[in-house]
Amino acid sequence: MAAGGGKGHYQAVGSGEGEGGGRVEKGVGDRLHFLTSSLLSAVTSCLGGLRGLNLEESGFSVRLSGSGSWCQGRLEVNAKDTWYIVHSQSWGLSPFRQDSAGASKLCRQLQCGEPLFLAHSHPLTGKLFLKQITCHGQVGSFSNCSLSSSRTNRAEPLALICLAPPRLQLVAGPGGLRCAGVVEFYRGSLGGTISIESQDGTQDLGNHICAALQCGSFLKHLPETEATRALEAGERRPLPIRWKIQNTSCASLEQCLRKVQPQAGGQALGLICTDFQPKVQSRLVGGSSSCEGTVEVRHGKQWDPLCDSSSAKGSAARWEEVCQEQQCGNVSSYQVLDATEKTSQGLFCPPGKLSQCYQLLERKSHCKRVFVTCQSSSPAGLGAGTVMSIILALVLLAVLLVVCGPLAYKKLVKKFRQKKQRQWIGPTGMNQNMSFHRNHTVTVRSQVENPSASHVENEYSQPPRNSQISAYPALEGALHRISTQPDNSSDSDYDLHGAQRL
């Protein structure tokens, strides 16, 4: 029984240890499960931060690097001020698959021409300063990207080659004008001038060219004589003809033109845009004010009379522009003056407004001048700069008055009061002898030094009438202190010439 009981007790103890061990194993399992779950959560969170990046939401930009040209090179993308190398496996590409058509979106973002090549590039080795990113979906999409977890010093980028963007240029403009000349068109590595057989229907194309050059709109065709004129120093002759107009109403220059075999002869397209520079400058001289007189225009460094071109349409609009340039309102009247001499000279401008006059021609005889009167007899108001200068000066004056005004006023008042106090300075021209007696009375005896002035009343000899204020406050104070001291003196008088010096 004892053994059995012991055995039973052992079993009981054993059973208790088994339950405790189960609890320990269960606690360890819970901790391991917790740690495993935490680790998986951290890994998932980390991977979630690296995968599924939508660069298009936060804004992105692309570039091509490594070649010196912005239209070819290694593809890189920027997101939140950080550049990444686009991995060669992006968008499902492989070394044996090229997708030039799908790269049109990328080339347009780079403001380049059509794509020529999009495929694997030579691997980059060594120390990499940029991380790699892999994107999925359609080619050129950055809405689903992930950062590469590779830690090797090796990158496998994508290479993209786009055609260079079309480019326009105006050369050999008359008189060195900007926004005027013969048109040269470049696409890729091919460049040349544009053949023109007829000027009809080319205004839309001219507007497109001027707008692309940021020169306003089309004004007129450049005369053939100007396009083939002798070149001046520093000018070059236009390139041969390599393009021909195939469509005058087109959305892009590539659609307007087609390539042809080089031509040495033929007429090349030349034009003048509305924003050509420099413009003609005018003035009015010989009148009663700057708003009336004979019209002169600037030619180089000198001013010459502008000859009349009344046969031209829009001559009134020309004088209207002259008045507006002088800030004199609209034109009131204009009169053509007869040429007094057959040899009278001046400058002649082709028909139209002065703002459209791109070239001044000389007239060596029979130059009829024009006297223009504007509506305003004086220039219309002050310029904006003058008005702003006046306002600024007034503001500065107000600030000075506020800051320095009170201080200056206090100094002025103090100076005035000091001057007023110096008016009572005591008698002049006489001495005062004072004697003290035991009865503590003071006798003041005045002796006139200048007898001739005895009958002359001195305005400082006595204080103002009806006034209780003494003219000698300091002197009376000294006398009062002396009179209150114990009197050990005799009946003799003491001359107080020293008191007078007080």
Which residue ranges does the chain devote to CATH 3.10.250.10? 55-163, 166-276, 281-374
Strand partners of residue 293: 286, 372
Tokens of 174: 């008359």
Instruction: Label residue 367 by pLDDT band (50, 70, 90).
Output: confident
In the chain, the N- to C-terminal Cα span, in Å, equals 139
pLDDT at 499 over 80: no
pLDDT at 435: 46
Instruction: Label residue 78 by pLDDT band (50, 70, 90).
Output: very high
pLDDT at 418 over 90: no
Q: How many CB atoms lie within 10 A of CB 250?
A: 15
Q: What is the mean pLDDT of residues 58-64?
A: 89
User: CATH homologous superfamily of domain 55-163?
Assistant: SRCR-like domain (3.10.250.10)
What is the architecture of the domain spanning 166-276? Roll (3.10)
pLDDT at 275: 94
pTM above 0.85, yes or no: no
pLDDT at 466: 47
In a 3-state reduction of DSSP, which class is residue 314?
Answer: coil
Of the two residues 383 and 352, the one the predictor is more confident about is 352
Tell me how far apart the alpha carbons of residues 62 and 140 are, in angstroms, rounded to a whole number: 10
Query: What DSSP element (H or E) covers 231?
Result: none
Question: If one looks up domain 281-374 in CATH, what number appears?
Answer: 3.10.250.10
Tell me how far apart the alpha carbons of residues 55 and 206 are, in angstroms, rounded to a whole number: 40
Q: What is the mean pLDDT of residues 213-238?
A: 81
Mean of all residue pLDDT scores within the chain: 74
262-292 per-position pLDDT tens digit: 887 788 999 999 999 999 999 999 998 999 9
301-316 per-position pLDDT tens digit: 899 999 887 655 567 8
177-220 per-position pLDDT tens digit: 899 999 999 987 789 999 988 887 788 899 999 999 999 999 99
Decide if 193 contacts 268 (C-beta within 8 A): yes
Tell me how far apart the alpha carbons of residues 295 and 284 are, in angstroms, rounded to a whole number: 5
Site of tokens 């006798």: 443
Helices (H), 291-344: 315-325
Q: Give the range with max mean pLDDT: 100-104, 211-215, 380-384, 466-470.
A: 211-215
pLDDT at 76: 93
Of the two residues 227 and 390, the one the predictor is more confident about is 390
pLDDT at 496 over 50: no
Tell me how far apart the alpha carbons of residues 438 and 486 are, in angstroms, rounded to a whole number: 10
In a 3-state reduction of DSSP, which class is residue 418?
Answer: helix
Helices (H), 238-336: 253-256, 315-325
Tell me how far apart the alpha carbons of residues 319 and 284 are, in angstroms, rounded to a whole number: 11
pLDDT at 359: 86
- Residue 172 CB contacts under 8 Å (≥ 6 apart), including other chains: 181, 182, 227, 229, 231, 235, 236, 237, 238
Of the two residues 241 and 232, the one the predictor is more confident about is 241
Lowest mean pLDDT segment, chosen from 18-27, 84-93, 144-153, 372-381: 18-27
Q: What is the mean pLDDT of residues 67-94?
A: 88
Tell me how far apart the alpha carbons of residues 369 and 296 are, in angstroms, rounded to a whole number: 9
Q: Give the range with max mean pLDDT: 66-70, 123-127, 380-384.
A: 66-70
- Distances 481 to 59, 202, 432, 436, 488 between C-alpha atoms, Å: 96, 116, 19, 13, 15
